[in-house]
Amino acid sequence: MDFDFNFFVELTFNGILTGMMYALIAVGFVLIYKSTDAINFAQGEFVMIAAMIVAGMATLYGAPLFVAIAIGLAFMLVFNWGLERVVLRPMIGRPVVAIIMATIGLALMLRGFGPLVLGAETRPINLPVSNDPVIWGPLFMTRIDLVGAIISVIFLSAFGWFFMKSRKGVAMRAVADSHQVSMAMGINVERYFALAWMLAGFVALLGGLVWGNAIGVDSQLAVLGLKVFPVVILGGLDSIIGVVVGGLIIGVCEAWAAGYIDPLVGGGTKDFTPYVLMIIALMVRPHGIFGKPIIERI
Amino acid sequence: MFYRESGYYKTSYAADMALYPLPITRVAVTGFAVLFFVIAPLLLSDYYLSVINLVAIAIVGALGLNILLGYTGQLSIGHAAFMSVGAYTAANLATKLDLPFWLTLPAGGLMAALIGLIVGIPSLRVKGIYLAIATLAAQFIIEWIINHTPAISGGVQASIEVPPPEIFGYVLKQQGQLYYFLMIICVIAILATMNLVRSRIGRAFIAIRDQDIAAEIIGISVFRYKLTAFAISSFYAGVCGVMYTYYLGIANYEQFQIITSIDYLAMVIIGGLGSVLGTIFGAIFITLLPVVIRIIMETFGSIFVEPAALAQVISQLRLIIFGGLIIMFLVLEPDGLNKMWLNIRSYFRVWPFSY
């Protein structure tokens, strides 16, 4: 097979777009880890449930799109606030295994609830984005991928600014650094925990809209959540820039694997490559490219 | 003389370590042995025996996970992948080389242990969340490799039919016949675990779980024992996979996906971390739960949902109840069913002098 430069550029560019959309989901995970030290295995399920509510409201009850989105947003905020109250707060100080298991349990519940209440069939989310592909020189892109990437760039920058500059963001970083010290400085730690989970719910809604438009809404959306881990491990668990970089690496490598290795081994490398990359990252640099190294002798 | 105890007075270490902590335990164990080995096979139909078979298989797998998670404190989300390794090893040996079960069973276990050793290597460098994610990756990678290697998976469907196990020319085809076969393996696994955890190795595991740095300081090789824990745990998983393969008569990767790993995690957590009895409770509970849900839904479910959608509703309900139970136990009773049982037992043991 001789090297086709256009094919390569197209793969790379589409990989970049997908990677940005991965970053949009992964940032929800990072927000929670950064401020509460909790590992959330249910981020993919948040995305799924948010998208299901929006799609369900739009198709079952014929709500206009913005009303459906508003309902979805309200649900995610209230749900995640309550979640932090009822499940996560009693778990503070418990071993990390317990928190991981609690979020896995949560993920199972959401996977059951979504289809049970809103129906298991695949539904569309129709954002006002046309289905015609964008053709730009040799490049051929799906329009929703492009829109998704732009949305995710905007919101990732917004989160970056939020954490670096805004009063609440600084407070959240302080909380992440040390619960006790921030409490002593007069920060209401519990309120910021709730805020972090609510932000994660908001991001999940964004991710659900973009991905739901791209691949349709059903329980398959939750599987995306598993892609979060390669992204955050590569980039660093507590870094917003890391999410972008990790997302890009995973997206591009996935596209390359799908383009070049798939024909050789008969498919499926797309789901496999991210985890191989992740294992390498874990062995070489467990705290990721931009993560804060926690020196822990084992 | 009739008297009541008012507390627990163990006067020697031997008493503390005894397999039978109370005299009544000996009676209870004998009772259960008679119940399950003599009475149950005589009275129950093949369907109920097959349910007990499933429980026996689950107990073996869950014991393996509890050794790793409950005793050594290493989280693994890839337990089902090791089962698939054992299952496919045994299936290939049984079909291609015509080996009998008493060779395929340990071979499946050993192969899984070998893979477990490799997967356990990251545990030397990372722990907690990172280890969880590394084992998650192992789950996907092992699954992918098995699926994409026709030499292992036996072709398109990735499933291999295995001949039923044979003892002295007696072929175990039906569930009732498989019953003794699986039960005996299960009992061996329980005894092995109980003795393992009170041996030198088990104490080293517990030390590593409680404080790995302290364990290293008192001279336990954390490196060696963590890998040992991974190997032993994977061995159990492999044996569990082989048992399941013989139970179904077919090795199929769909039985060993990530959801199965989570089922086993649920068993260990709901049952009680670091407790053999708890593991048994958990395995029974989680295995019977879908059966009970199905029976209830098939009886009353048609009132609420249409019969056509029933199968789907059952699987969704199962997920919800599973997830809910995991969260409930973690928040309310972190020590699981075992702790509840101990509380009940203690209450009645010292009744009415509970001070």
pLDDT at res. B240: 93
In this predicted structure, the answer to whether residue B267 has a pLDDT above a threshold of 50 is yes
Contact check, Cβ <8 Å, B320/A283: no
* pTM of the full structure: 0.86
Q: Is residue B233 predicted with pLDDT exceeding 80?
A: yes
Between A56-70, A230-244, B15-29, the lowest mean confidence (pLDDT) is in B15-29
Of the pLDDT bands very low, low, confident and very high (cuts 50, 70, 90), residue A298 is very low
What average pLDDT does this structure show over B204-218? 89
pLDDT (mean) for B207-233: 89
Provide the chain A residues 111-130 that lie in CB contact (below 8 A) with chain B. Answer: 111-113, 115-116, 120
Can you read off the two tokens belonging to residue B282?
């958990």
Q: Pick from A223-227, B107-111, B170-174, B313-317 the range whose average pLDDT is largest.
A: B107-111
Confidence category of residue B205, pLDDT binned at 50, 70, 90: very high
Q: Within the 41-60 window of chain A, which residues sit less than 8 Å (CB to CB) from chain B?
A: none
B300 or A47, greater pLDDT: A47
Asked if the C-beta of B308 comes within 8 angstroms of chain A's C-beta atoms, the answer is no
Overall average pLDDT of the B96-116 stretch? 87
Tell me which of A236-250, B71-85, B141-155, B163-177 is least confident: B163-177
pLDDT of B3: 67
What CA–CA distances, in Å, run from A139 to A150, A256, B230? 17, 15, 48
* ipTM surpassing 0.85: no
End-to-end CA distance of chain A: 47
Which of A97, A109, A278 is opposite residue B320, by nearest beta carbon?
Answer: A109
Per-residue model confidence (pLDDT) at position B80: 92
CB A52 within 8 A of CB A118: yes
Q: Which of B115, B118, B133, B209 is the best residue to mutate to test the A interface, defined by the most A CB atoms within 10 Å of its own CB?
A: B133
Comparing A213 with B240, which gets the higher pLDDT?
A: B240
Please give the average per-residue pLDDT across B74-99, as a whole number: 87
Window 198-227 of B: residues touching A by CB (8 A cutoff) are 212-213, 222
